[in-house]
């Protein structure tokens, strides 16, 4: 019997916000991945990079201000940096956990570019907050450079970026080859490095790709059996944070789309997870999406808990 392929999307809180927190968090994530490997699956991992890419972006900007001779690092470069150092911690944690269980599988990180549409409507309405809090003078300077900012408090501002949909994963064939060779692969971290196709060139874009949609596209391209989105809750709920809150077990894609139409899920939070899950399931046969937290990942894979979209 051929192995089933699982794409695991590690969510915003799965990797911590500082380097020490990330070291600890990757060890917990590694246990989840090892559990899935022991289930007899091929595992491909994507991950969030929200706190990390923001930290890199801020550090590079502050360095550029202190040392004007150095060029500011564009957002695409910051995304690439985050993939590298998150992948470094994650692949080493997974390798160590597997060896401790007597499992010897290579683990690799693929620097992953994802093509976006330059005419994506997200560029007209940027919403992803990035970097530190700015004062009014700094915010004005950002706007003069053509960047978008939003007010977050009295005299406080943050830079915001577009969150376009992923169109194509550039290194998908590399991921396929490594996965087929029984390697555990980390790819499309942070939604991928956003790039624009311009002739024969791939040029970085100032954007943050929606990571859940990128994970869904990764799962589609790999023809995976399962998309597992690990977030901060055991199950998806309806009427969230109300007296009528209820939890979803197994639902159809049609039910999920009805809940989306009814605005049951928060934009930028649960909504893209549901959208990614529905799209993945509908574009193949025998597929499923599992949404749960890391503590229940193994039971979620066995459909003992979590929200399952089929």
Residue 164: CB atoms within 10 Å: 26
Q: Which domains does the chain show, CATH number per domain? A: 3-115+164-307 (3.40.1160.10), 126-160 (no CATH)
Please provide residue 150's backbone torsions phi and psi, each rounded to the nearest 5 degrees. Answer: -135, 150
Residue 163's pLDDT band (boundaries 50, 70, 90)?
very high
Residue 296's pLDDT band (boundaries 50, 70, 90)?
very high
| % of the chain surpassing 90 pLDDT | 72
Closest CA relative to residue 206, chosen from 133, 140, 267, 146? 146
pLDDT digits (tens, 9 = 90+) for 13-32: 778 777 888 888 899 999 99
pLDDT digits (tens, 9 = 90+) for 62-109: 887 888 888 888 889 999 999 999 999 999 999 999 999 999 999 999
Q: How much is the mean pLDDT over the chain?
A: 92
Residue 53's pLDDT band (boundaries 50, 70, 90)?
confident
pLDDT at 2: 56
Q: Please give the Cα distance from 156 to 246 (Å, whole number).
A: 37
Closest CA relative to residue 189, chosen from 307, 49, 59? 49
Burial class (CB in 10 A: 0-12, 13-18, 19+), 1: exposed
pLDDT digits (tens, 9 = 90+) for 113-127: 999 999 999 999 898
Q: Are 136 and 183 in contact (CB under 8 A)?
A: no
pTM over 0.85: yes
pLDDT digits (tens, 9 = 90+) for 237-252: 998 888 889 999 999 9
3 state SS for 76-120: HHHHHHHHHHHHHHHHHHHHHHHHHCCCCCCEEECCCEEEECCCC
Closest CA relative to residue 85, chosen from 166, 33, 18? 18
Please provide residue 258's backbone torsions phi and psi, each rounded to the nearest 5 degrees. Answer: -65, -40
Residue 296: CB atoms within 10 Å: 18
The token duo for 216 is 């869904």
pLDDT digits (tens, 9 = 90+) for 214-237: 999 999 999 999 999 999 899 999
The token duo for 38 is 């022991």
Q: Please give the Cα distance from 40 to 33 (Å, whole number).
A: 11
Q: Please give the Cα distance from 249 to 102 (Å, whole number).
A: 34
The token duo for 156 is 């406080």
CA distance from start to end of the chain: 22
Q: What H or E segment, with its residue span, contains residue 219? A: helix 211-221
């Amino acid at each position: 019997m051929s192995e089933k392929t699982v794409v695991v999307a590690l969510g915003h809180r799965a990797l911590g916000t500082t380097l020490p927190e990330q070291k600890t968090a990757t060890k917990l994530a590694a246990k989840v991945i090892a559990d899935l490997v022991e289930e007899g699956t091929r595992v491909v991992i994507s991950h969030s990079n929200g706190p990390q890419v923001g930290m890199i972006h801020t550090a590079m900007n502050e360095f550029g201000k202190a040392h004007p001779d150095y060029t500011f690092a564009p957002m695409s470069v910051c995304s690439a940096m985050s993939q590298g150092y998150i992948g470094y911690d994650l692949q080493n944690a997974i390798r160590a956990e597997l060896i401790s269980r007597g499992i010897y599988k290579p683990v690799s990180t693929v620097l992953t570019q994802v093509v976006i549409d330059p005419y994506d409507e997200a560029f007209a309405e940027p919403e992803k907050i990035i970097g530190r809090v700015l004062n009014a003078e700094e915010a004005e300077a950002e706007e003069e450079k053509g960047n978008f900012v939003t007010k977050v408090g009295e005299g406080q501002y943050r830079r915001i970026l577009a969150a376009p949909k992923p169109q194509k994963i550039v290194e998908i064939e590399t991921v396929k080859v490594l996965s087929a060779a029984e390697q555990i692969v980390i790819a499309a971290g942070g939604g991928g490095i956003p790039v624009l196709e311009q002739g024969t060139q791939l040029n970085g874009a100032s954007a943050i790709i929606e990571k859940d949609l990128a994970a869904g596209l990764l799962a589609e391209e790999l023809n995976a059996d399962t998309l597992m989105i690990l977030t901060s809750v055991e199950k998806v709920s309806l009427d969230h944070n109300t007296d009528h809150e209820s939890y979803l077990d197994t639902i159809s894609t049609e039910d999920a789309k009805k809940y989306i139409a009814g605005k049951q899920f928060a934009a930028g939070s649960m909504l893209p997870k549901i959208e990614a899950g529905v799209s993945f399931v509908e574009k193949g046969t025998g597929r499923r999406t599992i949404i749960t937290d890391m503590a229940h990942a193994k039971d979620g894979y066995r459909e003992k808990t979590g929200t399952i979209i089929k």
